[in-house]
Amino acid sequence: MYKIKTLGTGPGQQNYQKHGNLAARQWHRYEIEVNNQDYIVRLDDKEATRFRPSVGDKRGNPPSVDPNSGFIGLQTHTGNVAFANIRIKT
């Protein structure tokens, strides 16, 4: 989600919107909603990006193959980062 190749609303593009810099030493709310192949990311309750992969660029197995599996990764590149209150809803 962070490597934006092309801005836009079509398949393979991200409709990224920056809402200002994040304050250090302050908790922020980060929500990722996934419906089939549609991804919506909200930061502090504001939509930050909306993404749908290009045709053929499928992520994960379809529910028909394994409806109860998936991968969740938490990643940071620089500085000290902490995660808290991580929840998964169906």
Please report the DSSP string for 7-67 in residue order.
Answer: BSSSTT-B------PPPTTS---EEEEEETTEEEEEETTEEEEEE-PPTT---S--TTT-T
Indicate whether 34 belongs to any domain.
Answer: yes
* pLDDT greater than 70 at residue 5: no
Q: pTM here?
A: 0.70
Q: Residue 4 domain-assigned?
A: yes
For residue 70, being part of any structural domain is answered with no
Query: Does any domain span residue 76?
Result: no
pLDDT in tens, 53-89: 777 766 666 667 777 766 677 877 777 888 899 988 8
Residue 14 lies in a domain: yes
**Domain tally, the chain:** 1
Determine the structural domain holding residue 42 and report its residue range: 1-56
* Residue 84, in any domain of the structure: no
Residue-wise pLDDT tens digits, 26-42: 898 989 998 877 889 99
